[in-house]
Amino acid sequence: MFRRHLLGAAGLSAAGMSATLARPALAQPAWPTQPPRLVVPFAAGGPTDIPARLFAERIGEALPHRMIVENRTGAGVVVGTDVVAKAPKDGHTLLYTTVAQASLRALFPRLPFDPAADLVPVALVGVIPMIVTVGREVPARTLQDLRALARATQGGIDYASSGNGGALHLATELLLRRMEVRANHIPYRGTASAMPDVLNGTIPLIVDVATSALPFVQRGETRALAVMDGTRLPQLPDVPTTAEAGFPDLEAYTWHMVMAPSGTPEPVIRAANAAFNRVAAEPAVQARLSELAMRLVSDSTPESAAAWLRAETTKWEGLIREADIRVE
C-alpha cells in the first residue's frame, strides 16, 4: 500500500513545485562549496535526530565538506523550520522534517513563514508506520474488539497522545473516526510521559510510532492490535495491518523528508537529492534504520516528494478541520 501511495502521489500534479523544478535536470554544480547545515527541529538523540545524523555522516564522507547537524527546537517544529525557510537559497541549509510538516498550516495559522511557499521538498527518505496498541489488561485483541469495547464504555474510552495536534493525536483521531466510536483525548508531554499510565492500566489506548511502540510490545507490556500500514512489520509478523483487520485505507505514518528554501537552484536540489538517495540505498544504512522500523526510500525525486507532501497535507488538514483540533 505504501508503494501504491508513493507512486500514486508521484503522479499528482506538480503545480505546487516551482517552475524551476519542472524543467529537465541541468548539469550538477559543485555542491556543497562549504559545510552544509542539516537543521533538525527535534531534540538531539531522539528518533528523528538519529536517522538525520546517520544521513549527515554518510553524505559528508562522500562530499568535500562534512554535513553539520543542527538541532533547533521550539514551538513544535516551527522554530527549526523557520530557520530554513529564511536561510540563503544556496542549498547549504536544509531541513530534516517529519509528518508534522503536513499539519503546520492548519494548526498554526499565524506562522512566521508559509510552509507551502517558502520551502520545497528535496527527497522523501523514509516512512515509519503507526501501531495501535492497548495495555495488556485491556480486553481487546483485535480492532473489532476495540470498537466493541469503546461502544460499550459509557462516555467513551480514554486514549493517550504525546501532545495536542501531534502525529499520535491525529493518527488516533483518524482511527476513531473510521471506527465510528467516541474516545477521550488525554494529551501528555511526550510519549515517555504517557507510557506509564498505559502500562499501569490508567489509559487503555495509545497509537504510537512503531519505533517507540515496538519495545513495549516485544516485552509483552502492551498489545499490538494492528499496524497502520499496507504491509506487516517484519518485527511483528503476527500483527495484522489495519486493512487486514477490517479497516481498508486506514494508514498513518511518520515520515522523514529533506527540504530546502524555495528558490534554491534546481541543480543544487538535484545534487542534494542524489546524495540522500545514495545513502538511503546503502545496505548498512537500511539495516541500521530497520531497527527503528523505518522503511527507506532510495528512489525519491523532488517531484515525487512534493506530491507525497501535498497528499499528506490534504489528508491531515482535512482531519484537523473535521475534528476541530487546535493547539493555539
C-alpha cell, 54: 546517520
Higher-confidence position of 97 and 249: 97
Question: Which of 117, 89, 122 has its CA nearest to residue 104?
Answer: 117
pLDDT of residue 31: 80
20 has pLDDT over 80: no
- What is the pLDDT averaged over residues 15-24? 39
Instruction: Identify the three-state secondary structure at position 52.
Output: helix
- Nearest in space to 251 (alpha carbons), one of 227, 223, 225: 227
Reported pTM: 0.87
Fold match flag (2-128+254-323 vs 129-227): yes
What is the reported pLDDT for 168?
A: 96
pLDDT at 74: 85
**pLDDT value at residue 250:** 94
Of the pLDDT bands very low, low, confident and very high (cuts 50, 70, 90), residue 134 is very high
Averaged pLDDT of the chain: 90
Read off the C-alpha cell for 117: 511557499
pLDDT digits (tens, 9 = 90+) for 63-94: 888 999 999 988 889 999 999 999 999 999 99
Report the CATH fold assignment for 129-227: D-Maltodextrin-Binding Protein; domain 2 (3.40.190)
Mean pLDDT, rounded, for 145-165: 94
Q: Is 207 left (phi over 0), alpha (psi -120 to 50) or beta?
A: beta
Collapsing DSSP to helix, strand or coil, 233 comes out as coil
pLDDT for position 277:
97
pLDDT at 21: 41
16 has a pLDDT exceeding 60: no
Task: Render pLDDT for 253-300 as a digit per residue (tens, 0 to 9).
Answer: 999 999 999 999 999 999 999 999 999 999 999 999 999 999 999 999
pLDDT tens profile 223-259:
999 999 999 999 999 999 999 999 998 999 999 999 9
Q: What pLDDT, on the 0 to 100 scale, is given for residue 221?
A: 97
- Whether the pLDDT of residue 187 is over 60: the answer is yes
In angstroms, what CA-CA distances link 38 with 51, 83, 94?
Answer: 12, 11, 5
pLDDT digits (tens, 9 = 90+) for 40-52: 999 999 889 999 9
Query: What is the model's pLDDT at position 328?
Result: 60
Distance CA 309, CA 229 (A): 17
Which of 19-33, 118-132, 140-154 bottoms out in mean pLDDT, i.e. has the lowest? 19-33
Asked if residue 313 has pLDDT above 50, the reply is yes
User: What does the domain layout of the chain look like in residue ranges?
Assistant: 2-128+254-323, 129-227
Confidence class for position 1, pLDDT limits 50, 70, 90: very low
Per-residue model confidence as pLDDT tens digits over 195-211: 999 999 999 999 999 99
Residue percentage of the chain with pLDDT more than 70: 91
pLDDT of res. 29? 54
- Pair 113, 84: CB distance under 8 Å: no
Residues 6+ apart with CB under 8 A from 52: 38, 40, 69, 96, 256
AA letter at 58: R
Q: How confident is the model at residue 12 (pLDDT cuts 50, 70, 90)?
A: very low
Q: Assign 30 a pLDDT band (cuts: 50, 70, 90).
A: low
Options 3.40.366.10, 2.40.30.40, 3.90.180.10, 3.40.190.150; CATH for 2-128+254-323 is: 3.40.190.150
pLDDT at 75: 83
